[in-house]
Amino acid sequence: MFGLIGHLTSLEHAQSVASDLGYPEYADQDLDFWCSAPPQIVDHFKVVSATGQTIEGKYVESCFLPEMLANRRIKAATRKILNAMAHAQKSGINITALGGFSSIIFENFKLDQIKRVRNLDLDFKKFTTGNTHTAYVICKQVEEAAPKHGIDLADATVAVCGATGDIGSAVCRWLSERTKVRDLLLVARNQERLNNLQAELKFGRVLPMDQALPQADVVVWVASLPKGLDVDATMLKQPCLMVDGGYPKNIDTTFARPGIHVLKGGIVEHSLDIDWHIMNIVNMDVPGRQLFACFAESMLLEFEKLHTNFSWGRNQITIEKMDLIGEASVRHGFRPLLT
Amino acid sequence: MPTLEASPVMDFQSETYKDAYSRINAIVIEGEFEANDNYKSLAEHLMSDHKDELIKLAKMENRHMKGFQACGKNLSVTPDMPFAKDFFSQLHGNFQTALAEGNVVTCLLIQSLIIETFAIAAYNIYIPVADDFARKITEGVVKDEYLHLNFGEEWLKANFETAKAELEEANRANLPLVWKMLNEVEKDAAVLGMEKDALVEDFMITYGEALANIGFTSREVMKLSAQGLASA
């Protein structure tokens, strides 16, 4: 059994979903109510691999809402994640992916220091951020989508925004070692981490975002767009491929103009239908087949019987692990989203 | 990303703290006292086949009560027992009525599910903000309370088919009282560093788990455990 911990994108979204699913007790409730709401298993489904192997999964709705961060209900936000993890573990799930903001909150608020949740000791080996598969899928999206838009990677400059994060640094490692990209631009806020990353890669240049974007043929976003940043889209190269690996996906509205191709990053398509309801709720274009790569990682770990926290801790993603999860991804029928 | 604020440092000797503690401590003492009484009544009147087990639970509750009395003394606080008696009066009344009518399912829902879960939630949220003396005592108590919850769960699980309708009815009548009780102590609990949303959440999680163990479906659990919360 694998698990997925997810959440809805806003209070308004949560209210409408509760109403659609037939939970009037949860619909029309304000943020205070959601701060008190317990995690719930809201879907139980099967996934069939391209090999024919079938596994079962459960979707745990954490009841976290992004408004909790915006309204400084930080304790509530961290409780949601820990409680959802405890719920998954108590439900006998072998490996659970922390989707959406879950892994970001876990990492940012150092929740690994809190092992005890009520009468349960969390076993972190049963959880994965899913970041290795997400990084792998984003890299494949860059490699496979760039030529489709007339961009030859051997002659291209790739900017990675959010380069020092867990996914960003993995993407930089892969692009440096496995592709022939001409130049790599490392963009992030923390200068020290940027310098360390450049030293590790022995490749690429550290640049501020406003200087990096006009030089880039490909932009990988693994951080959401900084608030207040006014990007002049006319300065961008044409064609330019943008892989939006951030959460929530908000790049396409900012850069909607001819010659700029925005791809939803870190999304995979399965070759067989999955009979679940959840991806309808998170507004995937093809809900029966498309899903976040981080979720797919927990499926892959279950298919491969790799019941371990495959992606865990910051900047631990190696090329070898990306290879391993990438091979499993192909074997079981997942493809990076390319349109 | 905002940062997590450090928990405020508690001044356990401040008048504000001790004033709030006099009511919260009294509630806990009264709760344990009534639990002792309720288990003894069940053993005598309705569940004589589980007499030994129930008497054992009752004795544990009595021990807890003494532990919490010591917590009050340790802070030189006199518990406000009249407040606590009044606080529990409606739940207490409903238990007594069910006992008199021989409704063992309702009795177990009130004592073994609602009151035990209420205690577990309160103790779980209190432990991180308690003074050192009370923390040790409360940590010991909360382990026992899970056993008590388990007693009710197991019996109701074994009798789920016949108990289901009465459980739903008893839930409808009694769960809204819990939200009302939580509202009554919201301010005092906040002085002790216990946030209402955390208390409600912990209650709903533990109560929901118990209902699921007994045999309710996920959908039923979501509805039952949130009953009356919206209008509280």
Q: How does DSSP classify residue B14?
A: S
Q: Hey, what amino acid is at A103?
A: S
Q: Indicate which CATH number applies to the domain containing A190.
A: 3.40.50.720
Q: Tell me how far apart the terminal alpha carbons of chain A are, to the nearest angstrom.
A: 31
Using one digit for the tens of pLDDT, what is the confidence trace for A253-266? 778 788 999 999 99
Best residue in A30, A58, A75, A119 for a mutation probing chain B (most B CBs within 10 Å): A119
Q: How many CA atoms lie within 13 A of A148 on its CB side?
A: 15
Q: Which residue has the higher pLDDT, A170 or A257?
A: A170
ipTM value: 0.89
Share of chain B above pLDDT 90, in %: 86
Q: Is the minimum CB–CB distance between A40 and chain B shorter than 8 Å?
A: yes
Query: Which range in A71-80, A240-249, A278-287 is most confidently predicted, on average pLDDT?
Result: A71-80
Q: Give the tokens for residue A94.
A: 């072998």
Contact B208 A38 (CB under 8 A): yes
What's the per-residue H, E or C state across B132-198? Answer: HHHHHHHHHHHHHHHHHHHHHHHHHHHCHHHHHHHHHHHHHHHHHHHHHHHHHCHHHHHHCCCCHHH
Is cis: bond before A38, omega within 30 of 0? no
pLDDT tens digits for A59-115? 999 999 999 999 999 999 999 999 999 999 999 999 999 998 999 999 989 999 988
Answer with the one of A265, A284, A306 that is the final residue of a domain.
A265
* Residue-number span of the structural domain to which A122 is assigned: 2-131+268-330
Identify whether the C-beta of residue B230 lies closer than 8 Å to the C-beta of residue A29.
yes
What 3-state DSSP class applies to A298?
helix
Is pTM beyond 0.80 here? Answer: yes
Does any domain span residue A339? no
Contacts of A285 (CB under 8 A, 6+ apart): none
Q: Where do runs of H (alpha helix) occur along B75-131?
A: 81-101, 104-108, 116-126
Query: From edge to edge, which strands make up the β-sheet containing A267-270?
Result: A290-292, A267-270, A334-336
Q: Provide the pLDDT for residue B7.
A: 63
**Subunit contact B4:A35, Cβ cutoff 8 A:** no
Verify that A23 and A116 share a domain, yes or no. Answer: yes
pLDDT above 90 (res A225): no
Given an 8 Å threshold on Cβ–Cβ distance, is A26 in contact with B2?
A: no
A104 touches B: beta carbon within 8 Å: yes
**DSSP label at B43?**
I
Please say whether the structural domain B15-230 has been given the CATH code 1.20.1260.10: yes
Nearest CB to A118; choose among B124, B195, B219: B124
* Residue B227 near chain A (CB below 8 Å): yes
Contact list, A37 vs chain B (CB under 8 Å): 201, 204, 226
A269: Cα separation from own chain's centroid: 14
The domain ranges of chain B are: 15-230
Domains contained in chain A, number: 2
Say if residue A104 is in the same domain as residue A53: yes
Specify whether the CB–CB gap between A184 and A158 falls below 8 A: yes
d(CA A302, CA A317) in angstroms, rounded, equals 19
Say how far apart CA A275 and CA B83 lie, in whole Å: 54
- Check A69 against B4: CB less than 8 A apart: no
Q: Stretch B12-39: mean pLDDT, rounded?
A: 96
Give the distance from CA B132 to its chain's centroid.
Answer: 22
Residues A233 and A306 in one domain: no
Q: Which alpha helices (DSSP H) does chain A contain, by range?
A: 11-20, 31-36, 66-70, 74-90, 102-108, 131-148, 166-178, 191-201, 209-212, 251-254, 278-281, 293-303, 319-331
